[in-house]
Amino acid sequence: MGGQGSNQLTLANALEIAKDNQNGQIPPAVTQMLERNIGDIWRRIQAQPSTYVMKKEEFAVFTYYRSRYDNNAVAKQAVARFWNHYKGETPRVDGARSSASTPSASGGPSSSRAPGASGGR
């Protein structure tokens, strides 16, 4: 009926509206939805600071508010964990490419050299 627009606001729509209106003219309903979501996401991260992996939609919200968490080690680890578990497009974050290779790959060639190179001890 008449209020269809407010009923149709999804998290994806709210993010799009907020990104398109960064000059401060973000509708209150959008701000409220995003604030509620970032609060929920941050609580989940804090409850499981070394294991929680954000879903793609959560990561999008977190990225929108990333400046709030620039100097926070738990937030940085949460972002790294997201990229380490993300299955989709290639990551666009510094350092993410190195996590794409398997951790054991660096151990393989090194372990074959180690006995010969460190055999002096």
pLDDT in tens, 70-115: 999 999 999 999 999 987 655 454 444 333 333 333 333 333 333 3
Quick check: is 3 in a domain? Answer: no
- Asked if 9 and 36 touch (Cβ cutoff 8 Å), the reply is no
Q: What does the CA dihedral 54, 55, 57, 63 come to, rounded to 10 degrees?
A: 30
Stretch 2-23: mean pLDDT? 78
Quick check: is 24 in a domain? Answer: yes
Between helix 73-85 and helix 28-47 the angle, nearest 10°, is 90
Average pLDDT in the chain: 76
Residue found under tokens 């180690």: 114
**Domain count along the chain:** 1
pLDDT band at 65 (very low <50, low <70, confident <90, very high): very high
Stretch 6-12: mean pLDDT? 80
Q: What does the CA dihedral 89, 94, 96, 98 come to, rounded to 10 degrees?
A: 130
Q: How many residues does the chain have?
A: 121
Determine how many CB atoms are found less than 10 A away from the CB of residue 61. 25
Stretch 30-34: mean pLDDT? 95
Domain interval for residue 91: 9-102
pLDDT band at 44 (very low <50, low <70, confident <90, very high): very high
Stretch 56-74: mean pLDDT? 95
Quick check: is 113 in a domain? Answer: no
The pair of structure tokens assigned to 105 is: 């790959």
